[in-house]
Structure 1
């Protein structure tokens, strides 16, 4: 089968890879759509993401959907009821161990033995799903209704990331929220915060094009912090500070400046992947204003919630969908996805 394999920074090749037989409790899915994520772009541009570097050829991709082509025996009964050959599914890229302390506590996103599709965190790497088919554990397949496009189903993973971040933020109903960063995850945090009842959401970025999308998705105000750096401080002052903030840029300077924008007792959620090394935080300000700083990493039960919200239309993410390209044009698709002036979320058509 064909797959988009990264051999190093800017060295993405569509090439033949071997398939494998199913083990007990696994499913083979014919992949239909795959969304290019910020971590995929980091691997493509830098040869790594955060602390993880590519050390062997890596099939990228973890935001995927498709159709079940084969099912092995499932003696543990892990699969969703009704899952069968021919089922249309969104694929949860998380494959936790299910028996460690984190998994037993309902926080499997923190599983130390996690095998996450398209990740260089382990060696050998966990191969991803930008391929014509992928083998996953059956419980990673979440059925989607026939009324739901497989492009939309492939967006369940990034929406789940945003929904988990909103959960980490605490109660947002009636609150004033800041989202730093207008990439796919930042825009989905905007949608998720409004879904949770936020009274207002301010969104920042360095480019006007994604800020325009944020306004379409319901942002009360958008701020180009490069063109008007003082506007954000003024917006915070006008409200006496923000109740909650989502740092989705992964830029150290964004996080360092955020405590000064918060109300006393506010909460900052860090979900952007920061560069290697430490970040000099204004700890006295965090202490004196009792500002919570929490991390948000991937998701757990939010994946199924994301599928349901997208299927029902309760969360509309249509404005972020920027186009689709066939697998054989993967390199071109990655270059488009990395152009913040032209695209938010680009999908590969893998069918």
Structure 2
């Protein structure tokens, strides 16, 4: 069956991989769509994401939806033939973080398509995958698989908004209008934000942010942009660059909250740390998600406007062109790989 495999930086291949068989407590899923994530692009371009470096070949992908084919043994879960989204994380359940209810930062988690541990956890960009049955979520009524493919990145955005605290009636700044930044806009609006300002370098990216519900768009490379706010209540840094964090720290009000969501480059990153002291700003990290996945599916089912963020659907055999397109934010927002119609059991 076809799989999208990264071998090293710049070495992405669509190749035949063995069809898996589910074991006890596992489900076999026929994948229909897989979203190309920023982390997938980092593995392709740089051979790693932050401190997670490739040490062996790896199936990419963790934003996947498809159809249940079979179970390895009787297990609670959606019936065969059900359309499902796959929660990509398997926390250990026993570490101090899991015990404290913070399973998203589990020190021994398994996450689809991640080089955080060795051997790497193989991802979901294959025609069929095997996952623990407990990671399947049946799609709510009326939610098609194409829009449901946004569930994983929307969950990331919902977790960042949760980390930000109460946003009701607040002015929120989002730096970076990539797919995650746009979904943070939607999540902030759903959380009651009164006004959302988004900054980015690219006009096309800002237009996707507008489609997601942004009230004000600001060119990040124009300090004289008349739309640039003097002050905001809360800021979410979604660009993954130090300049974005600097903007958040300089524009958030005294006593405000900044959430660092974008993965910064490996190694030290300079930022205006003095402002944390003089303005008593709270800087909080946001990493992945946990229970937000179910909320993401409900929100996607209720809001057709999310369809505008899926900018292209590309057959998996053309994965190289899909990655090129996803990396060009002047031409795309969220790009999906299409693995074709669900095969029979």
Contact 1:236/1:262, CA 8 A, preserved across alignment: no
1:229 corresponds to which of 223, 231, 237: 223
RMSD (CA atoms): 1.5
Residue number in structure 2 paired with 1:117: 112
Q: Is the 8 Å Cα contact of residues 256 and 279 (structure 1) preserved in structure 2?
A: no
Aligned twin of 1:287: 277
Partner of 1:323: 312
Contact residue 20 and residue 128 of structure 2 kept, 8 A: no
Q: How far apart are the structure 2 equivalents of 1:217 and 1:202?
A: 12
SS at match of 1:294: strand
User: What is the Cα deviation at residue 146 of structure 1?
Assistant: 5.1
**1:273: how far off?**
0.4
Under a length normalisation based on structure 2, what TM-score does the superposition of the two structures give? 0.95
Correspondence for 1:102? 97
CA offset at residue 151 of structure 1?
A: 1.1
How far apart, CA to CA, are the structure 2 residues paired with 1:190 and 1:290?
A: 25
Q: Is the 8 A contact 1:88 1:145 kept in 2?
A: no
Tell me what 2:128 maps to. 133
Asked if the contact 2:257–2:282 (Cα under 8 Å) also holds between the matched residues in 1, the reply is yes
Equivalent residues in 2 for 1:17-32 (5 A)? Answer: 17-32=17-32
1:344 aligns with 2:333: yes
Equivalent pairs counted in the alignment come to 340
What is the aligned partner in structure 2 of residue 276 from structure 1? Answer: 266
Per-residue deviation, residues 232-289 of structure 1 (Å, max 9, x unmatched):
8x7332xxx2111010011012213321211111100001000111223323321221
Aligned counterpart for 1:267 among listed residues 227, 245, 257: 257
Q: Aligned to 1:242, which of 232, 235, 239?
A: 232
Structure 1: where are the runs of 5+ without partners?
Answer: none
The offset of 1:42, in angstroms, is: 0.8
Question: Which of 215, 219, 223 matches 2:214?
Answer: 219
Unaligned 5+ residue runs, structure 2? 341-345
CA offsets 1:283-314 (integer angstroms, 9 cap, x no match): 3321221110000000010001101111122x
Tell me the TM-score normalised to structure 1 length: 0.93
Contact 1:8 1:47 in 2 (8 A): yes
